Structures are given as structure tokens and as C-alpha cells.
């Protein structure tokens, strides 16, 4: 073969290899771009995206590591989800409050599959309950029914905190909100937290709200939840949750090593740390006193209103058919004046929940087919 022909062959081979290299580089680039999964909320796989920069700055200001443990509190009536995070020193501080987009059912616990009721109680979320492939952007399962729920024969499945702002028994957030909540939970697991606690309440457990809802058939259940609420309010550390005699107990340690708490069995002898027990007892006593004062005020207002209405009806009967309109206007004015005597009563929920649900410990038997995203 002549010298120039060898040169041509070498040039040809070099050009082909260069072209193949470019094709390979393009394929790699295409794969990388596909992995970015860009959308309006960011780049990369949604379950791996970092927390919002505003929340990062808050963590720095509050002395929190990105991987320190978290805890979540949910309040139905206020439609709020709080994320608390451990700061230096071991206590938890409020990091962020998210407005719940939707929750379903009414104030009160969930009883059965298909009642479309969002749960109330204390739940532990492990990594296995996190769902990075949720149809509702991102989600985590609450783990309902827990030991307390099962002890009471309550049923249900797939009760979530998720995105997409659509609820059938779940707590629904916007996609952006759930992305940050998911990221905070994911990072806490990276830091070694084995599970994080979710405390789901009907409302902030204040004397005002308890008084407003005093006639609810759920009041005994809510009083029990309030004990756990008070433990956290006073210690700023998530309480240890146990269940015995079909009730929650908080920060309890059996007096005899190795004796477990069993949900349906008699509670073993146990001890709560002295200081915690003292502080909780003091708060419970103070709150009960305030509760009774508010209830007395509300009942006095209702009694005045009832007497006023009876008086106006009597006046209307004496004056004849021309008086009802004037009497009704007088009743309304009297009611408005009476309402001013009880300004401490809490406000109504921010959003109207969806769906029907039984409202007693022994719910009425109703059938409901249930819907995706929880029941």
C-alpha cells in the first residue's frame, strides 16, 4: 500500500472515532438532562431536592443542623401543620408553619375505613412510610391505625400527608409545601433519627377551644390528647408515647424493667419524671380553672339570650301580629350585646372540611366506598 493511502486510512479512522466520541457525549448529556426532571419546583428527582433556601436560613438562625431530628404538629380547626426541629441544647423550636390546603371529615378521631375522616392522635413515621413515588407529588403514611386505634377496633388505610391539595381522609398540602416537609424528614433520617412523631389535634388544646367544644362526645378523648400536648408544650421535647388500658400515656417508664406496655392490658406501675409530672399537673390545674370560668361565662350568656328571647315572644304575643318584626330586631340586638361578654371563645376553622363522619366513640354504621389517597 502506498504512503498516501496509509495516511488516508489513518485520517478516516481518526474522524470516525471523533464522531463516535461526540455521539457518546451527547447520549450521556441526554441521560443527565433526563435525570434532572425539571419542573416549576426545581431540578432533579423530587424526593431528593433540597429544602427551600428560606427555611435553610431559618435553621441557621435558630441554631439547627440540617440533619437534626424533627417533629410535626397538625391542628385541624386552624388548618395548620407545624414542623419543629431540634436545636442546640436538645430542645425543639418551631421551624415553619404551613397552612393545610385541605383536610377531610370533621373535628374528632377516625373510626372506620371509608368514613373519610382525617385521624387524630400520636403517630410515629419511619423511613418505610415515606413515599417518593406518590401520585400526589410526595407523601408519607401516618401509620394509621396505631396501637391506640387498633385497641379501639378502628380501621382504615393509606392515611397520608401528601401534596396535590386533594383530601379523602388525608392532610393535603400544596406540592411546594410537601416537598419541603418531605426534605426535612428525609434529612432528619440521614442524621440518624429512626422515626419522627406526628401529633394530630382537633385544635390548639387551649382552655378557650376546649370550652367552645365542651359538648362534643369526643371531649374525653381530647382531654387525653391534651395531656400529651401539655408534655410537649412544657418540655419542648416530643413525649415518649405508650398505650395501655386502651389509653395513651406519656413519658412513662415501667417501675419493673422488662415489663412492657400493652395496648389492651392493665397499665404496669410506671413513673413519669418528677419535674415533668409536676409541671404538667400545674398546667392542667390552671387550664381547668380557666376552662370552668369560660364555660360559666358562655352558659350565662346563653341563659341571658334564652330569657331575652322568651321575653320578646311574650311581648310579641301581647302586641299582636304587628310586633314580630320589631321583636325579632330587638332579639338580635340583645344577642349581639350578650355575645360581647364572651370574647375569649376561639374562632371557627379556616376551611370547611369534606365528607360525613360519625361523631361518637360508638359511630353509627354507615357504608362508604372510600376514595384514593386515604379512607
User: pLDDT tens, 271-288?
Assistant: 999 999 999 999 999 999
3-class state of residue 192 by DSSP: coil
186 vs 48: CA distance, rounded Å: 8
177-208 pLDDT, tens digit each: 999 999 999 999 999 999 999 999 999 999 99
Give the H/E segment covering residue 200: strand 196-201
Question: Which residues form the catalytic set?
Answer: 162, 170
Whether residue 362 has pLDDT greater than 60: no
Global model pTM greater than 0.85: no
Average pLDDT over residues 14-26: 56
Q: Name which residue leads in pLDDT, 121 or 335.
A: 121
Rounded to whole angstroms, the Cα distance separating 268 from 128 reads 31
Beta carbons within 10 angstroms of residue 108's beta carbon: 23
Gap between the Cα atoms of 100 and 74, Å rounded: 9
- Note the pLDDT tens digit of each residue in 284-332: 999 999 999 999 999 999 889 988 988 888 888 888 755 555 545 554 5
User: How confident is the model over 86-112, as pLDDT tens digits?
Assistant: 999 999 999 999 999 999 999 999 999
Identify the pLDDT of residue 8. 63
* Residue whose C-alpha is closest to residue 202's, from 216, 192, 190, 188: 216
DSSP reduced 3-state for 326 = helix
Burial of residue 105 (number of CB atoms within 10 Å: 0-12, 13-18, 19+): buried
d(CA 85, CA 65): 9
Largest Cα separation within the chain, whole Å, is: 131
Per-residue model confidence as pLDDT tens digits over 143-183: 999 999 999 999 999 999 999 998 888 999 999 999 999 99
In DSSP terms, which residues pair with 249 in a beta bridge? 242
The CA angle 120-122-128, to the nearest 5 degrees, is 110
Q: Does residue 4 sit in helix, strand or coil? A: helix
Element (H, E) at 287: helix 274-319
Amino acid at each position: 500500500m502506498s504512503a498516501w493511502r496509509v495516511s488516508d486510512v489513518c485520517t478516516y479512522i481518526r474522524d470516525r472515532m471523533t464522531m463516535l466520541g461526540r455521539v457518546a457525549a451527547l447520549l450521556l448529556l441526554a441521560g443527565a438532562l433526563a435525570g434532572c426532571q425539571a419542573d416549576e419546583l426545581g431540578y432533579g428527582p423530587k424526593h431528593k431536592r433540597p429544602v427551600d433556601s428560606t427555611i435553610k436560613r431559618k435553621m441557621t438562625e435558630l441554631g439547627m443542623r440540617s440533619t437534626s431530628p424533627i417533629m410535626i404538629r397538625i391542628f385541624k380547626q386552624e388548618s395548620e401543620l407545624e414542623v419543629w426541629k431540634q436545636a442546640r441544647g436538645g430542645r425543639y423550636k418551631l421551624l415553619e408553619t404551613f397552612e393545610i390546603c385541605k383536610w377531610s371529615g370533621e373535628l374528632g378521631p377516625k373510626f372506620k375505613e371509608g368514613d373519610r375522616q382525617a385521624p387524630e392522635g400520636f403517630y410515629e413515621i419511619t423511613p418505610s412510610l415515606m413515599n417518593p413515588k406518590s401520585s400526589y407529588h410526595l407523601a408519607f403514611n401516618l401509620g394509621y391505625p396505631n396501637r391506640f386505634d387498633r385497641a379501639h377496633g378502628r380501621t382504615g388505610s393509606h392515611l397520608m400527608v401528601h401534596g396535590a391539595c386533594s383530601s379523602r381522609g388525608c392532610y393535603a398540602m400544596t406540592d411546594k409545601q410537601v416537598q419541603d416537609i418531605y426534605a426535612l424528614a428525609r434529612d432528619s433520617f440521614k442524621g440518624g433519627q429512626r422515626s419522627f412523631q406526628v401529633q394530630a389535634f382537633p385544635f390548639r388544646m387551649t382552655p378557650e377551644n376546649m370550652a367552645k367544644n365542651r359538648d362534643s362526645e369526643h371531649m374525653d378523648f381530647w382531654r387525653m390528647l391534651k395531656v400529651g400536648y401539655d408534655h410537649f408544650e412544657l418540655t419542648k421535647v416530643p413525649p415518649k408515647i405508650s398505650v395501655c388500658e386502651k389509653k395513651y400515656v406519656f413519658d412513662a417508664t415501667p417501675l419493673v424493667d422488662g415489663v412492657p406496655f400493652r395496648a389492651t392490658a392493665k397499665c404496669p406501675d410506671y413513673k413519669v419524671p418528677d419535674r415533668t409530672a409536676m409541671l404538667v399537673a400545674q398546667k392542667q390545674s390552671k387550664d381547668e380553672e380557666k376552662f370552668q370560668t369560660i364555660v360559666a361565662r358562655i352558659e350565662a350568656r346563653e341563659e341571658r339570650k334564652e330569657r331575652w328571647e322568651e321575653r320578646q315572644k311574650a311581648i310579641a304575643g301581647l302586641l299582636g301580629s304587628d310586633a314580630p318584626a320589631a321583636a325579632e330586631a330587638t332579639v338580635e340586638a340583645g344577642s349581639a350585646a350578650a355575645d360581647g361578654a364572651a370574647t375569649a371563645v376561639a374562632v371557627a376553622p379556616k376551611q370547611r372540611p369534606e365528607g360525613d363522619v360519625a361523631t361518637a366513640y360508638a359511630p353509627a354504621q354507615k357504608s362508604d366506598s372510600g376514595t384514593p389517597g386515604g379512607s
